[in-house]
Amino acid sequence: MSLDINHLRQWIGRTEDAADVVTAAPLASLAATLDRDDPEPQAGDPVPPAGHWLYFLPRTRQSELDSNGHAKKGNFLPPVPFERRMWAGGRIRFLAPLHIGDDITRRSEIIDVALKDGNSGPLVFVVVRHRISGPGGLAIEEEHDIVYRGDPPQGGPRDGGATTASPSAAPGNAVWRRVIEPDPVLLFRYSALIFNGHRIHYDRDYVTKEEDYPGLIVHGPLIATLLMDLCRRQASGRRLARFDYRARGPIFDLGPFTIAGAPTKDGGKASLWALDHQGRLAMTAEAAFETL
């Protein structure tokens, strides 16, 4: 399939605006999905880290979905001629809190489209910048890396990875650690929370027979959310100010996976990572905190 990267780069600078209201119900559902014992959220409560991903959800009409459950390509995102689209990572700055009841806006802008070589063929990386504002002005600035990849060659690797890096071991000794069971209910509930119809997360026949993966795939944003939630559980008294993360490989629902972290001595920063059921590195992250 031909790929004209110069044509795709014409999408750089394209913007999209959205508006929403921070409501309590999605945050309560996220807390339940993360197995938190939080009080029922109330008007005026701050939105926890990663909670902003529950808003500005694309409400694609059923007739405008591809057979894989994703929205058909084009419009805001460039029409990359590859079928597989995944989260490759991102960088988030939490500048000011959002609160339940806030009217919020988001301006999204495509800031880069690049072609790179991967282990199983060409990859197209699209970087989208989101600026989310509330009543007090700019609250969150985020750069989101999306990677598109084609089907690997016949007999080639089916790693599902979002980067060209080979799987490797944990980057350090864990001080914080939590084991997650990626059962189909967890993946279904998270798909419902972010209105994600991609069948690789809940349709086992599709993901194993059509895309030839060994199991259901754990969402990249769910792994990142669990890492941010680990910070919230362990770094009490500190506000997450920055979170940079990168996907290193897939996690399938073939067994429990581990999220872990190690703070610096002063507690101002932390290194975090996720390991799949075989102990292979699936995501790394760096967090920075501010004292509340």
For residue 154, the model assigns a pLDDT of: 53
For residue 70, the model assigns a pLDDT of: 75
CB burial of 219-236 (b: ≥16 within 10 Å; e: otherwise) equals: bbbbbbbbbbbbbbebbe
- Render pLDDT for 84-127 as a digit per residue (tens, 0 to 9): 888 999 999 999 999 999 999 999 999 999 999 877 789 999 99
Q: How many domains does the chain have?
A: 1
For residue 161, the model assigns a pLDDT of: 42
For residue 17, the model assigns a pLDDT of: 97
The backbone torsions φ and ψ at residue 161, rounded to the nearest 5 degrees and listed phi first, read -70, 155
Domain of residue 204: give its range.
5-291
Q: Which segments in the chain show pLDDT lower than 50?
A: 155-157, 159-165
Answer yes or no: pTM beyond 0.85.
yes
Alpha carbon distances (Å) from 141 to 55, 80, 81, 144, 242: 15, 25, 29, 10, 10
CATH code for position 163: 3.10.129.10
- Render pLDDT for 160-177 as a digit per residue (tens, 0 to 9): 444 434 557 788 789 999
For residue 237, the model assigns a pLDDT of: 86
Query: Using an 8 Å Cβ cutoff, are 282 and 250 in contact?
Result: yes
